[in-house]
Amino acid sequence: MNKYKLRCISCGKVYEPDEVEYTCPVCGDRLGTLEVIYDYDEIKVKKEDFGKFDNIWQFEKILPISDKAYKTPLHVGGTPYYEHKKLAEELGIKNLFIKYDGTNPTASYKDRASALAIAKAYEKGYETIYCASTGNAASSLAGLSAPTKLKTYIFLPASAPIAKISQLFIYGANVIPIDGTYDEAFDISLKIGEENGWYCRNSAINPYLLEGKKTGALEIAVQSNWDVPDYVLVSVGDGTVISSFYKGFYDFYKLGLIDKIPRIIGVQAEGAAAIKRVFDKGEPFMPDDIETHTIADSISVGKPRDVVKACKYVKASGGYFVSVSDEEILNAIYELSIKTGIFAEPAGATSYAGLKRISEKIGKDSTVAIVVTGNGLKDVKAIESFVNLKKVKPDLNAVREVIKEYENKI
């Protein structure tokens, strides 16, 4: 007997895991993304089972894998959860926590999903795995699959940040840099993957990715000593990460380990706010495509795949969507760095930009967590406007002059 089943987010039809590979055959790829559902009565877990910095496999009883699954030995998850009293005070909220996922093996949140995808590829007997990605899912899949026997193909826009692209090559992946958008790379990858019989690690299409991603929420529950925040803010591209936060808290809520599900707030870049648009139009949550313009490459998605789930889950949590400008995102990177020492990539700081927008509305009695999904080292070009590399001669007087300038500025 399987420990889980799959259910279509739109029509609600329930499948056994071996009946369907990716999405609901009735509703199709975008409306028919699947949820992994469990019989919570059958899952025996208690609070003491979990450690604050252990990797994601500590949650294996609540993951759709078997005991014998291939579990990457790389330390995925167990990332820091920082409290910031001073920043909370400045923002006029009761307390602020930052879940920082830049310390994952390939330096982004996406490692949580890739770990599951690789486990599933092994279980299902595939020899090749592929994905389309804005960059982080790509480098993550390449890194986690590198030491395995799997062959890896990566489709991504050639405009992705050079650090992310460099990771792909150094991990030995087969790279297809598409001279186009993420959305184009996505559609092409699906066709190519299907005709070659490869396993698909594409956002939303593969129902198990969200289950890997939900471990971020599970960790927040453990790291907050089971007293979860009132609000969790997450940046949104395809809609899977944000959905996974609801799902993680939902699982622990159904298992009786936490007594509420936080309100989930999705933060999008103004130039790539497809899901916010759908959410604001209201039910039924029908996909909507747009052209994108934003420096936050990781969430530069015009044709998001997990629209229905993201909207349904956010609504169920009592949350909503907000969008922020590129200028707000850049300022958020800088402010987060100097105030907390956390250097985030643009999409990573987007959640903080969103919090600055809504902190007044959230109010002084609420505890808030923001999720920083990627390390700033993944895209240093994005912050080049902050860098002023004026060389100084190796001469004491020249140096003294520069110091005088700094001291006068301060």
Q: Is 26 in the site for a copy of itself (CB under 8 A)?
A: no
At its nearest, how many Å lie between a copy of itself and the CB of residue 164?
9
3-class secondary structure, 172? coil
Measured from the CB atom, is 20 or 175 closer to a copy of itself? 175
Q: Is 49 in the site for a copy of itself (CB under 8 A)?
A: no
Q: Is the dihedral of CA 326, 329, 335, 341 positive or negative?
A: negative
Nearest residue to 172 (alpha-carbon basis) of 139, 134, 197? 139
At its nearest, how many Å lie between a copy of itself and the CB of residue 390?
7
Q: Is 390 in the site for a copy of itself (CB under 8 A)?
A: yes
Nearest residue to 369 (alpha-carbon basis) of 95, 76, 110, 80? 95
Q: Is 119 in the site for a copy of itself (CB under 8 A)?
A: no
Q: Is the dihedral of CA 248, 219, 147, 114 positive or negative?
A: positive
Q: Is 397 in the site for a copy of itself (CB under 8 A)?
A: no
373 is in an annotated binding site: yes
Q: Between residue 183 and residue 212, which ones bind a copy of itself under the rule CB under 8 A?
A: 184-185, 188, 191-192, 196
Measured from the CB atom, is 125 or 394 closer to a copy of itself? 394
Q: Between residue 62 and residue 81, which ones bind a copy of itself under the rule CB under 8 A?
A: 72-75, 78, 80
Q: Between residue 147 and residue 186, which ones bind a copy of itself under the rule CB under 8 A?
A: 147, 151, 153, 155, 158, 162-163, 165-167, 169-172, 174-181, 184-185
The burial class, CB within 10 Å (0-12 / 13-18 / 19+), for 29 is middle
Q: Is 333 in the site for a copy of itself (CB under 8 A)?
A: yes
Contacts of 138 (CB under 8 A, 6+ apart): 131, 154, 155, 156, 160, 164, 167, 168, 173
The burial class, CB within 10 Å (0-12 / 13-18 / 19+), for 37 is middle
At its nearest, how many Å lie between a copy of itself and the CB of residue 170?
5
215 is in an annotated binding site: no
Measured from the CB atom, is 212 or 376 closer to a copy of itself? 376
Contacts of 380 (CB under 8 A, 6+ apart): 163
Sequence ranges of the binding site for pyridoxal 5'-phosphate? 136, 373
